[in-house]
Every structure is written in structure tokens, then in C-alpha cells.
């Protein structure tokens, strides 16, 4: 299966359980892999036969910077379901939502969730 990668898209959102997260907001990064057949697009050089990265980026931006969710798991699910619905050529999607600065004491690079969803999921 062919893949399109969107790596480390960065946004500012208001997702979280703690009051300061929903009031002050924080950075979020999103990485995703789109699984689809790119053979015909590659052979014909036709954008209509693939997925526009710009369109996917705009959808991710609207979701991450839009309605607040308590859990990054919910953000990931919303991203996956919305992108699968909007782009019928995508057969499967991997979505990783990264929270680089959660309000947790300690030393770490980030926390994240990653999900894999396909059109066949119930």
C-alpha cells in the first residue's frame, strides 16, 4: 500500500482535562500516514487522483484549533474519522497526536497517542 506522510504539523489548541489547559491552551503536534493507491496519480501527474496535502492540513488545523476535547484520544478519533469521510481514496489512516508540554512534573520529550483506523472499522 502506498502512503502519504504529514509530519509534525503544529497547532495551538485548548484540549485537556485540567482547567489551565482549556483556559490557556498549549501546543499540539499531529503526524499522520494516509494509506491509498498512488500508482495512477504518479503515472499521470494528476492531482485529482491523489489527496491534496493542503486540504488535509486545513482540515487538521480546523479540528485541532477548534472545539476543545478533554482527551487527545478524542482529537485523534475526530481527525481519523473526518479525514476518512472527506477523502474516499484513503483506505486507512494512522494519526498521532503529540502533546509536547502537558502539565506533568518531570522530564520527558512529550506524550502522545497514536491510532490506526480503516474504512472497514465499525
Contact call for residues 7 and 31 (beta carbons, < 8 A): yes
Q: Of 39, 67, 96, 99, which one is the catalytic site residue?
A: 99
pLDDT of residue 104: 81
User: Among residues 20, 24, 13, 9, which one has the least CA distance to residue 72?
Assistant: 13
Q: What is the pLDDT along the chain (122 residues), one digit of tens a residue?
A: 999 999 999 999 999 999 889 999 999 999 999 999 999 999 999 999 999 999 999 999 999 999 999 999 999 999 999 999 999 999 999 999 999 988 888 888 889 999 999 998 75
| Alpha carbon distance 90, 99 (integer Å) | 26
pLDDT of residue 15: 95
pLDDT of residue 122: 57
Beta-bridge partners for 104:
none
Contact call for residues 47 and 38 (beta carbons, < 8 A): no
Asked about 67 being catalytic, the answer comes back as no
Domain carrying residue 26: 2-118
> Can you tell me whether residue 15 is helix, strand or coil?
coil
pTM value > 0.95: no
Strand order, beta sheet including 26-36: 2-13, 26-36, 92-99, 111-118
> Can you tell me whether residue 68 is helix, strand or coil?
coil
pLDDT of residue 14: 96
For residue 62, the domain's CATH number is: 3.30.1130.10
Number of domains in the chain: 1
Amino acid at each position: 500500500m502506498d502512503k502519504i506522510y504529514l509530519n509534525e504539523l503544529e497547532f495551538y489548541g485548548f484540549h485537556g482535562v485540567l482547567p489551565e489547559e482549556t483556559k490557556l491552551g498549549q501546543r499540539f503536534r499531529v503526524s499522520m500516514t494516509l494509506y491509498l493507491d498512488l500508482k495512477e496519480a504518479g503515472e499521470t501527474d494528476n492531482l485529482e487522483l491523489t489527496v491534496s496535502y493542503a486540504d488535509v492540513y486545513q482540515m487538521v488545523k480546523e479540528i485541532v484549533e477548534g472545539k476543545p476535547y478533554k482527551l487527545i484520544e478524542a482529537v485523534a478519533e475526530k481527525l481519523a474519522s473526518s479525514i476518512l469521510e472527506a477523502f474516499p481514496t484513503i483506505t486507512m489512516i494512522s494519526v498521532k497526536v503529540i502533546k509536547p508540554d502537558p502539565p506533568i512534573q518531570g522530564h520527558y520529550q512529550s506524550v502522545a497517542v497514536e491510532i490506526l483506523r480503516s474504512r472497514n472499522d465499525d
